[in-house]
Amino acid sequence: MRSHPDACPGAVELHQAADGGLARIRVPGGTLSAAQWDVVRLAALELGTGFLEFTSRANLQIRGLADGLELGARLRAAGLLPSATHERMRNIIAAPLESNQDLVDALDAALCADPVLASLPGRFLVTVGASVSGLGGDFGLVDDVLLLAGTDTGVRVDDPVDAVVTAAGLFQEMRGSAWRLSEVDGGVRKITEHFGAVDGPRITPAVTPVAPSPTTPGVPLGRLDAHQLPGVPVRLTPWRGLVVPPGTDTSGLITDPASPWHGVSACTGRPGCAKSLSDVRADARAWLGTPHSLPVHWSGCSRRCGRPQGDVIEFVATGDGYRRIAGTAGDEEIR
């Protein structure tokens, strides 16, 4: 059980990092029109450091902000901040190559319309689609399946939007200080009993990353120069990449699955994060080209922020080098 409040940053309520205010912009489903994308790009250029950070929940971060007021005003005008009260819990990851944004928008609107759900933690997560079903959502939708804490317990639903809102309300009632459904003793069982399980085959949640290509490029170490991709509609992926229209100029991005950048990620590290023990991005670049069979993540401290789900090789800074860890994600510092 958590003993301290959830402090996930939002688009207006900033985290004060070593390099200034850090804003996390929730983008449910990852879809941004060309106009919305340009609003975010220009905000990074004019208000922040000039870079956009891509998170493993298909959200965006801007660093180096003086305050969140101007950013909030720009996002609100662009339709990217529909609810100030529910802003931090608007975490919906969608399978980026599926036609599901309408369902995501309906979910987002329904969750934001319930005042009780405004108090859900910033770690709350909903997944939509088979390819992201294994990303550890509190609730997940795959056709008529409602996953609970990333597990198929047999719950089947006719109205997915109502089911998620109902399940989220039950979670809020029972969670106490817990951030995730998986932390609530008996939580999955109680919600399963509320809906009623059906006998029959169960699905196995999975993670199916989108391979880099000219229309699904990756962003090296999840950090994009905000001058790039002007006037382009994009869909963010939870693998720190995008889906863009054919013919888009993707210079500087990862478009080849054989690229040494593919599958390599890192936290912010020094100098942006005061807790970091190393400049992990520089160290990752120096290491680049070393053969590896699994995704690799570089962390500047033992919190291991930004660590992807699944089997990952990790290099965790110790202050006098790195500790190498190979295993499966299980901590709650995933961003």
**pLDDT tens-digit readout, 11-22:** 988 989 988 999
Q: Which helix (H) or strand (E) holds 21?
A: strand 20-25
Q: What is the mean pLDDT of the chain?
A: 93
95, 130 Cβ separation under 8 angstroms: yes
How many of the other CB atoms lie within 10 Å of CB of 102? 9
Domains (range + CATH), the chain? 1-81+213-253 (3.90.480.10), 83-208 (no CATH), 263-335 (no CATH)
**Closest by CA position to 319, among listed 268, 277, 274, 272:** 277
The rounded percent of the chain whose pLDDT value lies above 70 is 96
Q: How confident is the model at residue 242 (pLDDT cuts 50, 70, 90)?
A: very high
The label of the residue with tokens 């090296």 reads 220
Q: Identify the pLDDT of residue 260.
A: 92
Q: How far apart are CA 328 and CA 232, in angstroms?
A: 36
Give the relative orientation of helices 160-174 and 187-195 as an angle to the nearest 10 degrees: 140
pLDDT at 333 over 50: no
Q: Identify the pLDDT of residue 332.
A: 33
Task: To the nearest 10°, report the CA torsion of 215, 219, 225, 230.
Answer: 20
Cross-strand bridge partners of residue 148: 139, 151
pLDDT at 126 over 90: yes
Helices (H), 78-227: 101-113, 160-174, 187-195
Q: Identify the pLDDT of residue 5.
A: 61
65, 20 Cβ separation under 8 angstroms: yes
